[in-house]
Amino acid sequence: MDKEKRIVIKVGTAVLTGTSGVINEGVIKKLVESTVKLLESGCQIIIVTSGAIGAGMGRIKLYGHSLRHKQALASIGQLHLMNIYDKYFSRHKRLVAQVLLTKDDLDNHSRCINAKHTMETLLKSGVVPIVNENDTVAVDELPKDKKFGDNDILSAEVALKFDADMLIILTDVEGFCTIDPRFGKEVKLIKEVRAITGDLEKCAGRAGSQRGTGGMISKLQAMKMATSKGIVAYIANGRKKDVLLKILEGKSAGTKFLPRGKKSR
**Does 172 sit near ligand GLU (CB under 6 A)?**
no
145-182 core/surface letters (b: 16 or more CB in 10 A; e: else): eebbbbbbbbbbbbbbbbbbbbbbbbbbbbbbbeebbe
Contacts of 142 (CB under 8 A, 6+ apart): none
Amino acid at 11: V
Amino acid at 73: L
What is the nearest approach in angstroms of ligand GLU to the Cβ of residue 72? 12
Amino acid at 10: K
Q: Please say which residue, 43 or 86, places its beta carbon nearer to ligand GLU.
A: 86
Q: Please say which residue, 37 or 80, places its beta carbon nearer to ligand GLU.
A: 80
**Does 13 sit near ligand GLU (CB under 6 A)?**
yes
Q: Please say which residue, 39 or 217, places its beta carbon nearer to ligand GLU.
A: 217
Rounded distance, CA 133 to CA 157, Å? Answer: 11
Select the residue interacting with ligand GLU from 27, 32, 45, 53 (CB under 6 A). Answer: 53
Q: Please say which residue, 51 or 175, places its beta carbon nearer to ligand GLU.
A: 51
Select the residue interacting with ligand GLU from 34, 50, 102, 221 (CB under 6 A). Answer: 50
| Site residues (vs ligand GLU, CB under 6 A) | 13, 50-54, 74, 132-133, 135, 150-151, 212-214
